[in-house]
């Protein structure tokens, strides 16, 4: 047993409040420290100042559920929290009453009033965290900022910094079995981001790809992590005793059927589009180059076909993953069908 | 044919019914509510745990209702409203929010009613289907004052309000919980050894009419509850359960994650089955008395296996399998097209370099028609 283990064992045996205190300190809101930070404004100097986002358990669950409740309609809400060095800490979120459509969401007069009343009244229940951002959903088309989102976010960053944007995709959350979420901050208008490789590749439907491509260099993603309190950990442990059956009794295959069809349609549309462009890129009607020529597609990071093939692989791996669990369950609960 | 159909389950089995005591319990709790209450408590506890920082508070803070949470709940109380839906006896608790409440010198709890009414309106703007179904507080027992609140304040919002009491101190003394309280750093406690019931930590109460000394009196009686969740909620809860450690991200691929989840569930199922087997063996040896109702339940569960053994299911399952294979095939085809395209591309470029600029510039070894 090395010294670290020994110390941990000692802590476990003797002083639980100590560890509790250490773990839960981020639940304490130190307004003076926050005021100091807001006065110093280190983020105004460096457009890349913020690197991390820590999201509390309640905030994550609330966002995921709210996004799901909207179905195919975009929803929107506000986040309360604080900043710590180069990180945002999201303590809680609350939804806003907004009229969203399938492609955009924006806060109207009523929502702004709601936001102001709600956040002011939070003081009465010892919630002194400020509004530090907004979240909205992109049902089925991935986590990135559209042109309108970039506008909204950059105006917030101009007047209410520190401010953070979170995008959550409820449809992909269900189909992948894990929360699909991204946190972003925009760059100032005149700022030219260093030309670095695109971040993690994600599937974007054909009708959105233009919007994505035009704006994808005006913001950057932040590293997201999650935290919970010690009491949360205890409760979650107890909950798991009641909960395990759920993983066995749900099938992502059945739930995300529509989404799979949507994905396949999208892939076939993209293939058609690529074909069309190939024809176009071939004025003589015979011989010539495919569009995946790196020169024609400079800056796109691989050819169209390459991207389409990645989309197809992702769709396939999710599907195979679901059928795998179906097989396991079938093997467990109806052994007579194993000969198939 | 009929025999096959007979063996299929008659109705959908609710997987979250667990144990005989909460079979069909009319109270359904969502994990969000549990965590929301816990969050409320933790924030107050944080203020209490860091007196060094909180002692800098000015007296104006106190007037605003920001009072350090005292252990016995004397100055301010952690309580709030439960929102959800109600259908007959079934109550589903889906959301909650906190209320500002203070205890006066006489020991009366005063709730800021204007705040409460406004907040309820705000929530109804967003979640139109939710109504007030009850309230919660943090504490270890129900005092007469709580009964008064229940009868006077919350009965106005719902004629049969539900009361949820969370007692965070009850389990924190257990050694197993101590290990877990290290934030996942300690060894993972075998779930079966942990307190099997959350009773004590979380209890739900409802008003009950009882005849005591020939007089009908209202008392708060504990009622069993069970847990349910939406899919997105389940995924999010799973997510925080596994990944929410300080500084921890998720590096694992989604397949690993998925299979691990499944494995943990199967392990859990196995451990439960072992308990049942041990019980049956002990009964067979005559070590414990015959418990007919338990045996009947075990018999009922066994009779359900195999879970789905009918032609319709095999057909549907085979179809599903074929669909998946088609998807895999399509993806394979797309991938090969892509690779092929790259090869053609390279050939074309190579021949392009080899041929001098001229009329044949646009023609590679693989001209398209």
State the pLDDT confidence band at B355, using cuts at 50, 70 and 90. Answer: low
Q: Is the pLDDT of residue A37 over 70?
A: yes
Q: Do B46 and A247 touch (CB under 8 A)?
A: no
Check CB contact of B44 with chain A, cutoff 8 Å: yes
Please tell me the distance from the alpha carbon of residue B11 to that of residue B28, in angstroms, as a whole number. 19
Tokens of A62: 């609330």
Query: What is the pLDDT at residue B8?
Result: 34
Question: Which of B198, B249, B307 lies nearest to residue A333, judging by beta carbons?
Answer: B307
Q: Is the pLDDT of residue B187 over 80?
A: no
Question: Which of B42, B239, B258 lies nearest to residue A229, judging by beta carbons?
Answer: B42
Q: Is the pLDDT of residue A39 over 70?
A: yes
Q: Is the pLDDT of residue B266 over 70?
A: yes
Cβ proximity of A227 and B244 under 8 Å: yes
Mean pLDDT value across residues B329-335: 88
Q: Is the pLDDT of residue B184 over 50?
A: no
Cβ proximity of A170 and A52 under 8 Å: no
State the pLDDT confidence band at B338, using cuts at 50, 70 and 90. Answer: confident
B165 membership: H or E segment, kind and range:
strand B162-166
ipTM over 0.85: no
Strands in A59-125 per DSSP E: 76-84, 87-95
CA nearest A250 in B: which residue? B231
Of residues A333 and A80, which shows the higher confidence score?
Answer: A80
Q: Is the pLDDT of residue A6 over 50?
A: no
First to last CA, chain A: 52
Range 10-39 of B in CB contact (< 8 A) with A: 15-16, 18, 31-32, 34-36, 38-39
Check CB contact of B74 with chain A, cutoff 8 Å: no
Identify all chain A residues contacting B337, using CB atoms and an 8 Å cutoff.
Answer: 305, 309
Of the residues A126, A268, A305, the best mutation for testing chain B's interface (the one with the most B CB atoms within 10 Å of its CB) is A126
Mean pLDDT value across residues B112-124: 85
Range 128-167 of B in CB contact (< 8 A) with A: none
Alpha-carbon separation of residue A141 from A63, A103, A137, A171, A234 (angstroms): 17, 10, 9, 8, 36
Identify all chain A residues contacting B321, using CB atoms and an 8 Å cutoff.
Answer: 323
Question: Which of A126, A247, A271 lies nearest to residue B43, judging by beta carbons?
Answer: A126
CA nearest A171 in B: which residue? B232
Question: Which of B230, B250, B309 lies nearest to residue A65, judging by beta carbons?
Answer: B230
Q: What is the pLDDT of residues A87-111, one digit of tens each?
A: 888 888 888 887 666 666 666 777 7
Sheet (strand B79-87) strand order:
B215-223, B202-212, B162-166, B131-138, B79-87, B90-99, B27-29, B225-227
Of the residues A68, A238, A253, A285, the best mutation for testing chain B's interface (the one with the most B CB atoms within 10 Å of its CB) is A238
Q: Do A125 and B321 touch (CB under 8 A)?
A: no
Please tell me the distance from the alpha carbon of residue A35 to that of residue A49, in angstroms, as a whole number. 18
Domain map of chain B by residue range? 17-227, 311-362
Please tell me the distance from the alpha carbon of residue A144 to that of residue A218, in angstroms, as a whole number. 11
In chain B, the percentage of residues whose pLDDT exceeds 70 is 67
Q: Is the pLDDT of residue B328 over 60?
A: yes
Identify all chain B residues contacting A34, using CB atoms and an 8 Å cutoff.
Answer: none
Q: Is B94 helix (H, G, I), strand (E, B) or coil?
A: strand
Q: Is the pLDDT of residue B198 over 60?
A: no
Alpha-helix residue ranges (DSSP H) falling in B127-253:
144-152, 175-180, 231-243
Query: What is the pLDDT at residue B210?
Result: 72
Please tell me the distance from the alpha carbon of residue B69 to that of residue B75, in angstroms, as a whole number. 7
Mean pLDDT value across residues A4-9: 48
What residues pair up with A55 in beta bridges, in sequence order? A90, A226
Q: Do A239 and B227 touch (CB under 8 A)?
A: yes
Identify all chain B residues contacting A12, using CB atoms and an 8 Å cutoff.
Answer: 178-179, 182, 186
CATH of domain B17-227: 3.40.140.10
**Chain centroid offset of residue A246 CA:** 24
Cβ proximity of B116 and B141 under 8 Å: no
Cβ proximity of A225 and A54 under 8 Å: yes
Query: What is the pLDDT at residue B205?
Result: 83
Check CB contact of B343 with chain A, cutoff 8 Å: no
Q: Do B258 and A174 touch (CB under 8 A)?
A: no
Ramachandran angles phi, psi of A39, nearest 5°: -75, -40
Q: What is the pLDDT of residues A163-207, one digit of tens each?
A: 899 999 888 888 777 788 889 888 887 777 665 545 556 777 777
Identify all chain A residues contacting B364, using CB atoms and an 8 Å cutoff.
Answer: 287-289
Question: Which of A12, A318, A320 lies nearest to residue B178, judging by beta carbons?
Answer: A12
Cβ proximity of B4 and B311 under 8 Å: yes
Q: Do A68 and B231 touch (CB under 8 A)?
A: yes
Mean pLDDT value across residues A238-260: 74
Q: What is the mean pLDDT of chain A?
A: 74
Identify all chain A residues contacting B259, using CB atoms and an 8 Å cutoff.
Answer: 321, 324-325
Strands in chain A per DSSP E: 52-56, 76-84, 87-95, 130-137, 164-168, 181-186, 219-227
Query: What is the pLDDT at residue A302?
Result: 46
Count other Cβ atoms within 10 Å, centred on residue A136: 27
CA nearest B252 in A: which residue? A178
Question: Which of B230, B265, B317 lies nearest to residue A248, judging by beta carbons?
Answer: B265
Q: Is the pLDDT of residue B190 over 70?
A: no
Q: What is the pLDDT of residues A123-164, one digit of tens each?
A: 777 677 888 889 998 888 888 888 888 888 888 888 877 889
């Amino acid at each position: 047993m090395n010294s670290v283990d020994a110390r941990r064992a000692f802590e476990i045996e003797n002083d639980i409040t100590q560890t509790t205190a250490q773990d839960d300190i981020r639940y304490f809101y130190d307004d003076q420290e926050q005021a100091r930070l807001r006065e110093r404004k280190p983020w105004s100097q460096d457009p890349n100042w913020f690197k991390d986002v820590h999201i509390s358990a309640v905030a994550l669950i609330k966002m995921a559920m709210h996004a799901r409740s909207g179905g195919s309609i975009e929803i929107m809400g506000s986040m309360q929290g604080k900043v710590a060095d180069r990180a945002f800490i999201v303590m809680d979120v609350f939804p806003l009453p907004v009229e969203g459509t399938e492609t955009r969401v924006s806060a109207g007069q009523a929502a702004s009033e709601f936001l102001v009343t709600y956040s002011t009244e939070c003081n009465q229940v010892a919630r002194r965290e400020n509004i530090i951002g907004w979240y909205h959903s992109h049902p089925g088309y991935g986590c990135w900022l559209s042109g309108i989102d970039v506008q909204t976010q950059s105006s917030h960053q101009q007047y209410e910094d520190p401010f953070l944007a979170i995008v959550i995709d409820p449809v992909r959350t269900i189909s992948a079995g894990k929360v699909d979420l991204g946190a972003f901050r925009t760059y100032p208008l005149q700022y030219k981001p260093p030309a670095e490789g695109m971040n993690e590749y994600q599937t974007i439907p054909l009708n959105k790809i233009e919007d994505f491509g035009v704006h994808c260099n005006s913001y950057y993603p932040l590293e997201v992590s999650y935290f919970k309190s010690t009491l949360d950990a205890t409760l979650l442990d107890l909950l798991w005793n009641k909960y395990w059956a759920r993983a066995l009794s749900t099938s992502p295959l059945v739930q995300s059927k529509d989404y799979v069809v949507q994905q396949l349609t999208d892939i076939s549309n993209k293939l058609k589009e690529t074909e069309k462009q190939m024809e176009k890129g071939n004025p003589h009607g015979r011989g010539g180059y495919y569009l995946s020529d790196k020169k024609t597609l400079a800056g796109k990071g691989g050819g169209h076909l390459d991207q389409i093939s990645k989309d197809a692989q992702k769709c396939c791996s999710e599907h195979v993953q679901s059928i795998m669990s179906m097989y396991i369950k079938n093997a467990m609960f109806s052994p007579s069908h194993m000969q198939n | 044919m009929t025999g096959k159909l007979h063996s299929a389950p008659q109705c959908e089995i609710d997987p979250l019914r667990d144990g005989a005591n909460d079979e069909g319990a009319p109270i359904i709790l969502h994990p969000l509510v549990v965590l929301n209450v816990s969050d409320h408590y933790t924030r107050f506890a944080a203020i209490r745990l860091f007196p060094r920082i909180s002692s800098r508070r000015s007296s104006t803070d106190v007037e605003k209702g920001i009072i350090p949470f005292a252990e016995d709940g004397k100055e301010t109380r952690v309580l709030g409203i439960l929102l959800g839906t109600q259908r007959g006896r079934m109550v589903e608790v889906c959301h909650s929010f906190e209320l500002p409440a203070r205890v006066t010198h006489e020991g009366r709890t005063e709730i800021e009613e204007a705040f409460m009414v406004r907040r309820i309106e705000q929530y109804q703007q967003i979640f139109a289907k939710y109504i007030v179904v009850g309230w919660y507080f943090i504490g270890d027992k129900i005092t007469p004052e709580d009964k008064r609140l229940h009868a006077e304040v919350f009965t106005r919002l719902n004629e049969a309000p539900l009361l949820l009491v969370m007692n965070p101190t009850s389990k924190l003394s257990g050694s197993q919980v101590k290990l877990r309280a290290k934030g996942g750093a300690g060894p993972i406690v075998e779930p079966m050894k942990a307190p099997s019931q959350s009773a004590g930590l979380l209890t739900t109460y409802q008003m009950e009419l009882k005849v005591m000394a020939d007089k009908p009196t209202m008392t708060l009686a504990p009622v069993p509850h069970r847990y349910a969740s939406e899919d997105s909620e389940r995924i999010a809860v799973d997510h925080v359960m596994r990944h929410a450690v300080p500084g921890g991200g998720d590096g694992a691929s989604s397949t690993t994650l998925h299979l691990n989840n499944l494995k943990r569930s199967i392990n859990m199922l196995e451990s439960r089955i072992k308990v049942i087997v041990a019980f049956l063996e002990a009964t067979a040896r005559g070590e414990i008395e015959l418990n007919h109702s338990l045996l009947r339940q075990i018999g009922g569960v066994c009779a359900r296996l195999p879970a789905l053994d009918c032609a319709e299911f095999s057909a549907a399952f085979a179809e599903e399998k074929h669909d998946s294979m088609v998807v895999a095939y399509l993806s394979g085809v797309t991938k090969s097209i892509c690779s092929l395209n790259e090869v053609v591309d390279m050939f074309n470029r190579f021949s392009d370099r080899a041929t001098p600029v001229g009329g044949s510039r646009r023609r590679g070894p693989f001209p398209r028609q």
